[in-house]
Amino acid sequence: VDNLNYYRSRLKPETKIMAMVKATSYGSGSFEIANVLQFHHVDYLAVAFTDEGVELRKSGITLPIMIMNPELMSFELMLNYKLEPEIYNFRLLNQLQDSLKKHEGDPFKIHIKVDTGMHRLGFGEEDINELVVRLNNNRHIKVQSIFSHLSSSDEAEHDGFTNMQIQRLRDMSNEISSNLTYPVMRHLLNSSGILRFNEAQFEMVRLGIGLYGFSSTANEQQHLQQVATLKTTISQIRHVAANETIGYNRKGKLKRD
């Protein structure tokens, strides 16, 4: 909560926060962390896979949840549990449209990911025209947000590239949203981006590892509290001679006693 409030203090009052609770909240416990975040009025949660979102819903979490890696066969499950998939290519969009052919009721909320330079996932600039046509021709779909992923917001030597990514998101999201009939949120900043590129908050930010007290710089780290510590016990200490090997396939070869 202290970490959440620290990042909140760096944001405009109207900027929304999407908190990352994927991978059991980085090992801290999915429901436990999500419940705290819900109590403290975070606006969105994000998980990696559909089953993580389903478990949160079954545990009583009512916040909007974005699924970052939607499986092709899980759209029906997302519909049933009101989960919102990230759509990053036409293959996923096609599968979603097939799943929605018999859908009645409110439009299904999705999040469009665009590639601004990280080159992992996302629609490219060359896809935007076709994407807009497809979105406008399907009344069953509503775009909640358009977003992208910063590759190196924590390293000053790449600030020029980060600023280019910010501008690309601005341009690509404008091209999409200007052709839709409703407002759409945008989000790009991660934990380090919130602190280093404050002017690019858009309508929402994604708070991830910083929420758990980890930062890439000492200056930022002093404001955070680590929420978890990994501890273990030593099972056995033994003395082994030089040139002996340790472990499977003799991978660990000792150069000294």
From CA 100, how far away is CA 76, in angstroms rounded? 9
Q: Would residue 22 show up in a list of annotated catalytic residues for this protein?
A: yes
219: helix, strand or coil: helix
Q: Would residue 248 show up in a list of annotated catalytic residues for this protein?
A: yes
211: helix, strand or coil: helix
Q: Count Cβ neighbours within 10 Å for each residue of 41-64 and write b for 16 or more, e otherwise.
A: ebbbbbbeebebbbbbbeeebebb
Q: How far is C-alpha 46 from the geometric centre of its chain's CA atoms?
A: 6
Q: Which one of the listed residues 12, 231, 248, 251 is annotated catalytic?
A: 248
* DSSP, res 255: S
Q: Which one of the listed residues 22, 26, 88, 212 is annotated catalytic?
A: 22
Does an H or E element contain 160, and which? helix 159-177
Cβ atoms of 186 and 201 closer than 8 Å: no
* Pick from 126, 199, 117, 109: nearest CA to 162: 117
Which residues participate in catalysis according to the annotation? 22, 248
